[in-house]
Amino acid sequence: MKRTTFYTYMTMATFLLSAAACKKDYQDPSGPSQDQAFSSPQAITDAAVGLQANYVKDRTGLIYTTITSGSLLSGETFVTNPGNADEGQLGTGGNTVLNNNVVVTGMWAYTNKIVFDAERVLKATNTVISDKGYASGVIAYTSIFKALALGVQANYWEQVPDTISSPDATTRVGFIPGKQGYARAVRTIDNALNTIAANPISSAITPFLPKGINVVNTLYALKARYALSAGDYAAALDAANKVDLTSAGISTFNFNPQVANPIFTLVSSTSNIYQVVDSTMGLPVALAPTPTDARIPFYMTRQATGLKFVMSGFFKSNIQSIPVFLPGEITLIKAECYARNNDLVNGLAELNKVVTKKPSDDPFGIGANLPPVVVATIPDLLTQIYKHRRIEMFMSGQEIEDQRRFGRPTTERKRNYFPYPFVERNDNPNTPADPTF
């Protein structure tokens, strides 16, 4: 597999971060100043829309790095070509994942860049945009990507930056525990929701935002996701109950031939980097899907020759959309919140909505179509919730957070957290020690 394109992009990403790694300052000295760049509503809107491009595009965007990392570390996928050394490190795990791994470095670079750019947009919006409804739309849309980037960092690193900028060029950012990073994502979303409540989003902004994102529904879904990871089950349940789980409420990252689905284009179209392991979906034998689980043929295709299984799901064409969240994820968040509060009856009821769901009843066609689960204890309920999260949300990038949160054995994953890239460590004395695993 030719890797020139990847390393070209990663060199750019590394430059972005190494230029001001620990100051988190991405101002281009050759370009316009911040005041010039954000001097009009259209310029601010364009900057906000650019956040999605950084999240989804190519092999450096967060879709590629998170799905690749989560699936390889959890054993859902395996590296098919040993020439892909950086993905190979993730597939092996442990201390083989180096501080200069380009997938890890790219994820670090682009999460920090998205947060930095998002905060610039948020800071400028209320000053420059006089239309409060239009400003609400910009703030809400921008907050989605800031929250996603913060969530990715907290998912993959034990500690995360506590800010994105400093009052002077000599101050280096500090770090906070990952759970506080999730809480920071929730605060970002709450600010957006409060802004919308005060001034509903104007339809004037709709033509300028990428199609596919249901802004308000996505904010509630992400709040449910990150409040759950932060351990705030009341907030997670409240947010989950406000998410529209019908086809009217879905949100997707949409693609076209110019900005293509990165997993299809780089991975599933060639099988030359990695592929799915098999129908166990990376789960141990005791938790492996029932052979009749209808989610297996949704997410993978069995072949008569060559690789036994190849990925399907949301990676079947270069223009196929990828969901921002799944309705099943939200239902399973409700189930987990009830279970964490020792409510067996409601937790089991929510779980079985996912277990018994038919593909035709899901906006994306995901359905297990199985008999309801029967459990008698909270620990057994939590085990079943974990199992069905992994199946329902296969290759979602959330696998390692789930494994940690549910207390799964470390033998079921390749690492708990990533090491900190050299581009951060070499320029920031506040960088924490690398985790041992």
What confidence score (pLDDT) does residue 111 get?
Answer: 97
User: What is residue 19's predicted lDDT score, i.e. its pLDDT?
Assistant: 43
pLDDT band at 66 (very low <50, low <70, confident <90, very high): very high
Helix (H) or strand (E) holding 67, with range, is helix 62-74
pLDDT digits (tens, 9 = 90+) for 324-364: 999 999 999 999 999 999 999 999 999 999 999 999 999 99
Q: What backbone torsions phi and psi does residue 300 show, to the nearest 5 degrees? A: -150, 155
- For residue 160, pLDDT over 90 is answered with yes
pLDDT at 352: 99
Average pLDDT on 18-24 reads 51
275: CB partners within 8 A, 6+ apart: 77, 78, 80, 267, 268, 307, 309, 310, 311
pLDDT bucket at 21, cuts 50 / 70 / 90: low
Across all residues in the chain, what is the average pLDDT? 92
Would you say residue 436 lies in a domain? no
39: confidence class by pLDDT, cuts 50, 70, 90: confident
Residue 97 lies in a domain: yes
What is the pLDDT at residue 429? 95
Residues near 301 by Cβ (< 8 Å), separated by ≥ 6?
A: 309, 310, 311, 312
Is 344 part of a structural domain of the chain?
A: no
As a whole number of angstroms, the distance between CA 152 and CA 140 comes to 19
pLDDT value of position 416: 98
Q: What is the largest CA-CA distance in the chain?
A: 64
pLDDT digits (tens, 9 = 90+) for 311-325: 999 999 999 999 999
434 assigned to some structural domain: no
What confidence score (pLDDT) does residue 278 get? 97
Domain count, the chain: 1
Question: Residue 268 pLDDT > 80, yes or no?
Answer: yes
What CATH number should be reported for the domain holding residue 217?
1.25.40.390
- pLDDT for the residue 7: 36
Q: Is residue 345 part of a domain?
A: no
pLDDT of res. 27: 56
Q: pLDDT per residue over 91-107, tens digit each?
A: 999 999 999 999 999 99
Average pLDDT over residues 116-135: 96
Report yes or no on 34 lying in a domain.
no
For residue 176, the SS3 value is strand
Any domain includes 103: yes
Evaluate whether residue 183 is within a structural domain: yes
The range of the structural domain enclosing residue 289 comes to 41-326+417-427
DSSP strand E in 245-284: where? 252-253, 274-276
